[in-house]
């Protein structure tokens, strides 16, 4: 598993994290290819990773480690799993799919398939 914040910021002191560094990291995260869908135009992780970093930085400001919060917008979140033709009905398993999954799951866990369906 890739750690999107620890890898680039692991040795950086919190007080050294400024707007320029966060913007550069955000640009790097936005430019990363999707792990789930190689042909996607976005990756689906940049917004979440930047939000986690912002939570850390807000705590650093609150604790006096940073004088101010870096001014960096959170990248927009777009689904990587779905294309333009996706409809909400595509997320519902057909009865034949539920039956197939039920048969594929070991006996003690089969009931979970039925509850989930």
Q: Are residues 110 and 72 in the same domain?
A: no
CA angle, residues 45, 37, 30, in degrees to nearest 5: 35
- The whole-model pTM stands at 0.64
Q: Are residues 59 and 108 in the same domain?
A: no
Q: What is the pLDDT of residues 60-109, one digit of tens each?
A: 999 999 999 998 888 877 766 666 666 766 667 888 989 999 999 999 89
Q: Are residues 56 and 4 in the same domain?
A: yes
Mean pLDDT over residues 51-59, rounded? 94
Q: Are residues 33 and 54 in the same domain?
A: yes
Mean pLDDT over residues 10-24, rounded? 92
What pLDDT does residue 62 have?
A: 95
Mean pLDDT over residues 28-37, rounded? 81
Average pLDDT, the chain: 85
Q: Are residues 76 and 99 in the same domain?
A: no
Q: Are residues 33 and 3 in the same domain?
A: yes
Number of domains observed in the structure of the chain: 2
Q: Are residues 9 and 66 in the same domain?
A: yes
Range of the domain at 100: 88-117
Helices (H), the chain: 6-9, 19-31, 46-62, 95-104, 110-116
Q: Is the pLDDT of residue 24 over 50?
A: yes
Q: Are residues 116 and 63 in the same domain?
A: no
Sign of CA dihedral 60, 62, 68, 70: positive
Band (pLDDT 50/70/90 cuts) for residue 1 is very low
Q: Are residues 10 and 40 in the same domain?
A: yes
């Amino acid at each position: 598993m890739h750690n999107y914040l620890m890898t680039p910021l692991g040795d950086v002191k919190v007080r050294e994290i400024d707007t320029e560094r966060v913007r550069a990291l955000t640009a790097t995260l936005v430019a990363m290819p999707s792990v789930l869908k190689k042909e996607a135009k976005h990756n689906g992780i940049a917004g979440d990773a930047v939000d986690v970093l912002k939570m850390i930085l807000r705590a650093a400001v609150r604790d006096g480690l940073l004088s101010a919060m870096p001014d960096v917008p959170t990248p927009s979140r777009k689904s990587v799993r779905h294309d333009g033709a996706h409809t909400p009905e595509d997320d519902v398993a057909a009865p034949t799919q539920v039956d197939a999954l039920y048969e594929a799951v070991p006996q003690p866990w089969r009931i979970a398939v039925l509850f989930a369906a």
